[in-house]
Amino acid sequence: MQSLDGVWRPVYAEMDGEEAPKMMLDKMEIEFVGGEYAVRFGGVTADQGTYVIDAGGLTLFGMIGPNAGKAIPCLCKFVGEMLSICYGLSGTRPDKFATAQDQQRYLANYMRKVASSE
């Protein structure tokens, strides 16, 4: 599996079958580095914690923010340069990369953010 390390910007996301507004995606990013993650909106950290990757997939462990004290099991895969993560917000690892009403799943497709040379 490719490295998760870096800053990722969502290009598409949905929660329980409903597509997230583009305006929200434009302000969001997730950073993975050294076993830690941080989710930022408009540059402000909203959710932070640690993560592990094992045979089951990716698991986030929230430490600060709305997911503090929670384990979020996820599926993740790389499709070319895109990273796709399906989050099991209910505490159950998703069985596929899809969401539907009342499943408490969040699916996001990310592209790695390239450092600006400006």
Residue 52 lies in a domain: yes
How much is the pLDDT for 51? Answer: 97
Distance CA 105, CA 7 (A): 22
Q: Identify the DSSP state of 89.
A: T
pLDDT at 117 over 90: no
pLDDT at 118 over 50: no
How much is the pLDDT for 27? Answer: 94
The upper half-sphere exposure of residue 78, i.e. CA atoms within 13 Å in the direction of its Cβ, equals 9
pLDDT at 80 over 90: no
Q: How confident is the model at residue 115 (pLDDT cuts 50, 70, 90)?
A: low
**Residue 54 CB neighbours (<10 A):** 7
Report the number of distinct structural domains present in the chain.
1
Q: How confident is the model at residue 103 (pLDDT cuts 50, 70, 90)?
A: very high
* CATH code of the domain covering residue 49: 2.40.128
Percent of the residues in the chain that have a pLDDT greater than 90, as a whole number: 86
Q: How confident is the model at residue 107 (pLDDT cuts 50, 70, 90)?
A: very high
Strands (E), 1-118: 6-15, 18-19, 28-33, 36-41, 44-54, 57-64, 71-79, 82-88, 105-112
Distance CA 40, CA 29 (A): 5
Read off the pTM.
0.92
Residue 117 lies in a domain: no
Domain span at residue 92 reads 6-112
Residue 88 lies in a domain: yes
pLDDT tens track for 22-55: 999 999 999 999 999 999 999 999 999 999 998 8
